[in-house]
């Protein structure tokens, strides 16, 4: 299973080319075997600070949305494939 999650991580990191995720240098670094936890990192520097010296809220949201939408995709697609396969197997068994 670990090999499968490593492939997913590589695929996620490859998909970010030419996107805001790439511009923000967000890197997906961990995906759990159950596909229910995704961890990413984003470098913090003065380019993404507010004029007051704090991290810009928009940068925080970009990170949160990138991780949230990516893990949601995995959860949804694995549920859909599992449900479809279960339905198909159930249908054949009649």
Give the list of residues 6+ apart from residue 66 with CB closer than 8 angstroms, or none: 20, 21, 24, 26, 40
Q: Tokens 């470098």 identify what position?
A: 43
> First CA to last CA across the chain, in angstroms?
32
- Residues with a catalytic annotation lie at 65
């Amino acid at each position: 299973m670990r090999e499968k999650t490593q492939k997913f991580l590589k695929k996620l990191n490859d998909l970010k080319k030419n996107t805001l995720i790439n511009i923000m240098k967000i890197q997906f670094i961990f995906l759990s075997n159950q596909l229910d936890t995704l961890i990413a990192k984003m470098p913090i520097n003065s380019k993404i600070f507010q004029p007051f010296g704090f991290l810009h809220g928009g940068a925080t949201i970009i990170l949160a949305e990138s991780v949230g939408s990516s893990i949601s995709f995995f959860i949804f697609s694995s549920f859909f494939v599992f449900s479809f396969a279960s339905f198909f197997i159930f249908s054949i068994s009649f």
